[in-house]
Structure 1
Amino acid sequence: MSDNDKTRINRVITRTGDRGDTGLADGSRVSKWHPRIQVLGELDELNSGMGVLRARSLDADLDTVLGLAQQLLFDIGGELAIPGHRVIDDHDLVELESRADTFNAELPPLKEFVLPGGHPDAAWCHHCRTVARRTERHFVALQEADEDAVNPVSLALVNRLSDLLFVMARVINLRQESPEVLWQPKAKRG
């Protein structure tokens, strides 16, 4: 590899996307508005939000699971950056679901819908959950445009992640002794 190639690889500003396209890891170029790039952007935003949550003082078990989820999101990004590449498998899906079940076992049953809020960390967890749901919708749009572009297990994992984040928000509120904000039907709000 020449010194020029090394410099180009290490540069953050490449100017290659100045006209509105971007490169995939296989060397192909697509529009920055391409559904694949939309999903990559959503994954990045979700991962960044989870990083903000992890920057807080969370219980170790919550932080560990968020760290695992961040790694999995990067794996999914790798799948999308290299067309035809698959990394996420059923084991990953089962692992995330198992973690959600473990946390959920701590919680009292739901009697009403939960509104985002309570402890600030729980509220941020709810925010991440909504970004996960939006990511999932973009994933579905990509799948409808190009079924082969999506690993169905990765799509399922993003769905499970939003469930996990909901459960984690409830766990944070419980552990922090912060009351959950429950939805009250309009007739009961008086």
Structure 2
Amino acid sequence: MTKTHKLSVTHTDSMPISEYKILPIVTGLCDPTGQISWFFNKIVSHLLLNVPSILSNTIQFLEHFHNTNFGTERVMESFDVEALYTNAPMGDALQAPHEMLELHGREREMYGLSRARIMTIVKERLNCNVFKWPGGYFSENRELVLGKRLVPVLAICFTSRVEQPVLARLPLLYCRHIDDCFLINSIRNG
């Protein structure tokens, strides 16, 4: 059975206890299919090497930033993709790695599995959302749910499709760590 965590709202000191809202986060890391998720996450996460804007650490960001020619008339923006996991439609989030496997699957280790088989198991693993909460058993029915091992990789793949028009405009710098984006662009190109 998956584990749940209580994520409480910030600034709750002044709230009456009856107004507290608690969101269960289903981790799914210790459930019976956790090892299967780990294995398929290993396959799908190799696709992130084909996402041009993704950063894996702060040093990469600083290197990109240092190597950017700022010049004059530049604008810098930093923004966060709001609720990336829960706003990414499941179908689109699954379509992105499917397309990436089609383009780059031969370059990546697939352990003898076909693209169709990988995507079928990934989809089934995402649909396994049953958890125990006081009062019974429940299923989380939102789009991508927090706590699933595969969700961050799928969200990054999905966002890489969304950001393609931004990259097509050739900004001076565009980089992203999961849902945190940074952009430097010419005011004229903006």
Higher share of residues assigned strand = 2
TM-score, structure 2 as length reference? 0.28
TM-score, normalised relative to structure 1:
0.28
Which structure has greater helix proportion?
1
Relative contact order (C-alpha < 8 Å, sep 6+): which is higher? 2
